[in-house]
Structure 1
């Protein structure tokens, strides 16, 4: 498989209202909520940074440069959007009480807000939530119908799709995954014909980003199949929990059964090589909820402009909410 259609099915049907999205960085504001206070002691520093039109790895690189450490010594809880205004925490390993002029981090696009001692490095997904304030400009179409959609999202949530950014620009991470799994399959077939891999032979390790994109793509395939059948909101027969969930593929038994297992097997049949590749990449089979219910969801119209405010858990995508509301018209500059 080599064609990656990212136009996944809509729960509410394709939106008829269009809106300008990310015309300015200030149209997309994110506040990272750690959910805990810095401990005040330890071998790491926590830095809270307000950034505008900068990506997370760039800020992390600047922190490492100023501290005189390796990039791997800098941690953060997740990647935040570049074309946005975001408040985000970083950790840096500094066991010695070094006198560092952190004001060097300040620039036209970044501002240091706070520095605290802490006892451990920040890890991906460790934070509690992300708070969003998003302005959609110049909404065109039936605004009463948009109001109906807003109420539906508030009451029932949206499909918990992984957002397009997970898959890279022009689905580049998925194309890389396709090449990876095709090469791996060819190598395995060749090894079988020759009697197996030689002792001690190792495969080159794929990047975590590519594997994450592949798992996300497979999850979206299952979710799309359930959205098309209007079976995504409630658990199906064969569900392992009281929530409707889909697989994050990896090694181990798929816990679903019955009707649900049949649906997932059918949805993933064209991607059997990917499933096989992920099983051999050292990832464990997991489940992810199919329903995203934005917390503290409010909205306000200012003429044709719509301002949304809501909170999401780590791993949830704001674009999964927005896509159910409007057709988003994005300026080319925000592609980065």
Structure 2
């Protein structure tokens, strides 16, 4: 279970109830897997290492810690580090939450201006090891990383051949879904967002942000799932908003000529779906009409996101894992290594491999 799922609070009794359910049965690109299997049986089955994508300066008012944590909550550890350093919890930052049930490596930054760096070799917490201490001139902000390296072990596999065949397919890409952990159990976080949009006040900034992200992510997943169902996942429509893979800038397709299709096939550009917010969709013509049609029935979520200050953005439809490799430890156990850009979910790849 991810930290996001653990922290999703239940709606208090007496609050307005959501008007609809939000199922998480998004379509599979290669069909529902036939093999069963499990992961996260042990912390060492789910190893994640952050890739900041930049070098730390070695000087500045922020002390950065390269931390390995096993079976520990990111936010709890941040508070423990603040207490040890004698600073406020708000002065500890990190690029993102990491799963508690796993062996995860991530950077924390502590703002300690004009002070001697604490001796972090004296810091003690079960399952936590601080491997590096280095200063930097800026704090590590949420989302400030290039990506993550994963090493995930799948156990109790019932059909080795089916998994091997699926591994060959997923190398070509998988739907770039937001993981189910973002939505909470049974889509609770989306329901909570809907209730918030009808007037319920959420004072906790973390919960409010979590609900907004869940609603936005749900609309994105709906469009991606629909394009799979309609066999439009790899086939562009006139006006589709595409993104340069190298720099993430995007533009609507003015035509469907052979040269445009070649750019898509070579992954110079890629198809996208909307991250909903205020303003007009950046897709045009056929693609714009398609996205509007597929999101009918979710007007309250769209309006709520726009009212809360989110802007129209885009996200690639396809997630292509880098450096993907696998090795079988025995007939029922396989270890998969790969790299994903920031904001992408390992579970989106795993759901195409096993039930």
TM-score, normalised to structure 2's length?
0.83
- Provide structure 2 residue ranges, at least 5 long, that are not aligned to the other structure: 1-18, 243-268
* Alignment partner, residue 290 of structure 2: 263
- Count of aligned positions: 308
Aligned pair 1:236/2:237, yes or no?
yes
2:278 touches 2:305 (CA, 8 Å); kept in 1? Answer: yes
Shift of 1:64: 1.2
CA RMSD of aligned residues (A): 1.8
User: 1:234: how far off?
Assistant: 4.0
Q: Distance in 2 between matches of 1:40 and 1:137?
A: 42
Contact 1:106–1:112 (8 Å) recurs in 2:
no
Report the Cα distance in structure 1 between the residues aligned to 2:98 and 2:231, rounded to whole angstroms. Answer: 32
Checking the alignment, whether the CA contact within 8 Å between 1:235 and 1:243 is kept in structure 2 is no
Counterparts of 2:231 and 2:28, CA distance in 1: 10
Structure 1 segments of 4+ aligned residues over 6 angstroms from their partners: 203-206
1:175-186 map, 5 Å: 175-183=191-199
2:141 to 123, 127, 134: 123
**Structure-1 residue corresponding to 2:212:** 211
For the structure 1 residues 233 and 65, does the alpha-carbon distance in structure 2 shift closer, same or farther, using more than 3 Å as the test? farther
Identify which of 298, 312, 334 aligns with 1:306.
Answer: 334
Question: What is the CA–CA distance in structure 2 between the aligned matches of 1:232 and 1:124, rounded to whole Å?
Answer: 30
Deviation readout 1:214-240 (Å, 9 max, x if unpaired): 110110111111111121234322113
Write the distance in 2 (CA, Å) between the matches of 1:73 and 1:293: 35
Name 2:166's counterpart in structure 1: 149
Q: Which runs of 5+ in 1 are unaligned?
A: 188-202, 328-336
Name the structure 2 match of 1:92: 110
Counterpart-to-counterpart distance in 2, 1:262 and 1:316: 27
Alignment TM-score, normalising by the size of structure 1: 0.88
Residue in structure 1 matching 2:177, options 156, 161, 178: 161
